[in-house]
Amino acid sequence: MRATVIHAPGDIRVEDVPEPEIIKPTDAIIRTVVTCVCGSDLWAYRGLEPVDEPHPMGHEYVGIVEEVGSEVTSVKPGQFVIGSFATSDNTCPNCLAGYPSNCVHREFMGTCQAEYVRIPNAQGTLVATAEHPADELLPSLLTLSDVMGTGWYAAKAAEVRPGSTAVVVGDGAVGLCGVIAAKELGAERIIAMSRHENRQKLALEFGATDIVTARGDEGIARVKELTDGVGADSVLECVGTPEAMQQALHSTRPGGNVGFVGVPHGVAIDGQELFFSHVGLRGGPAPVRAYLPDLIGRVLDGRINPGKVFDLTLPLEQVAEGYRAMDERRAIKTLLKP
């Protein structure tokens, strides 16, 4: 089959590789319907994470079940399924506590930019829809595999509540999905920090009430002007850099909350500064699986349309251009058709 392999920073190729097979009785094999490129894939592409040897890429997927292992009874061949980028058994103490992305049997997906994918922990990971969804819903359903669920978690971790004020740091696909989540969870004011006109437009369409283009101290000052001088109730940190984390922590009111979902690179938090800020902080790989039933419903109802974050669609064969366009910020997010 055809699959994406990274050989070195900047060197993404589509190659012939063996089709995946059932290895454990808890596995399933799916045929990928659509997949995509994630902002976090760019860490390796940009050389900010080491690429020690060539390896497959991709962790977002929707597909048709081809085959299931002997212990998988919850889905069956032919069904359309969505799953999380982090697999989970859905029965361990962490899954039951609402954190399937910290399942004791978790395996992170990493081979999804391909025609077929092996899904470990398939029983707990995959959610089937009642029927094969219409083509126009596929992009939105695909976002539930990661970015929309991650934006949702950012908003939940930041404790967005009805009537609250939220700031979203980062205007990538996750940040834009964070705007949707803040809106759905009832935020009254949603301040999107963005410097890119097309992303600002999408943020406003998704529910942002204010756009702040300034960054650093100026950006913080602007947020405070908009929030009684004290900062926002909830801040969604959707980048993962030290600058973004500082932006987030200093934009939050005492007693407010930061939800951080950008994988931190070089981020260290000073204990005393955090202490005196009174800001609550929670992050991590989003427990996407826990949100799937709810979010699938919202997509099928037409209530949310996170698929709009895809502004470039390419055949899988052109995945390299998909990475390049995102790296150069010509695209917010690239959808790939195997």
Q: Which residues lie near its own copies (CB under 8 A)?
A: 93-94, 97-99, 101-102, 104, 157, 228-230, 242, 245, 253-255, 257, 260, 263-272, 274-285, 287
Rounded least distance, CB 101 to its own copies, Å: 8
| The three-state (H, E, C) secondary structure of 219-236, written as one string | HHHHHHHHCCCCCEEEEE
Q: Are the CB atoms for 257 and 285 separated by under 8 Å? A: no
Instruction: Quote the least distance from Cβ 91 to its own copies, whole Å.
Output: 13
- 179 residue type, one letter: V
Give the E-state strand segments of 145-188 in sequence order. Answer: 165-169
Q: Are 141 and 62 in contact (CB under 8 A)?
A: yes
* Nearest to its own copies of 57, 248 (CB atom): 248
CB of 167 to its own copies, least distance (A): 16
CB of 30 or CB of 232, closer to its own copies = 232
For its own copies, which is the closer residue by CB, 10 or 242? 242
Nearer to its own copies, 287 or 307 (CB): 287
Least Å from the CB of residue 183 to its own copies: 22
Residue closer to its own copies (CB basis): 102 or 305? 102
Q: How far is the CB of 185 from its own copies (least distance, A)?
A: 17
**Phi, psi values for residue 83, rounded to 5°:** -145, 170
Q: How far apart are CA 74 and CA 321, in angstroms?
A: 37
Tokens 């251009």 -> residue: 321
Nearer CB in complex with its own copies: 10/110: 110
How far CA 7 is from CA of 19, 20, 55, 244, 260, in Å, comes to 19, 20, 7, 29, 30
- Write down the least CB distance from residue 266 to its own copies, Å: 8
Which amino acid type is present at position 314? L
| Phi, psi for 35 (deg, rounded to 5) | -140, -175
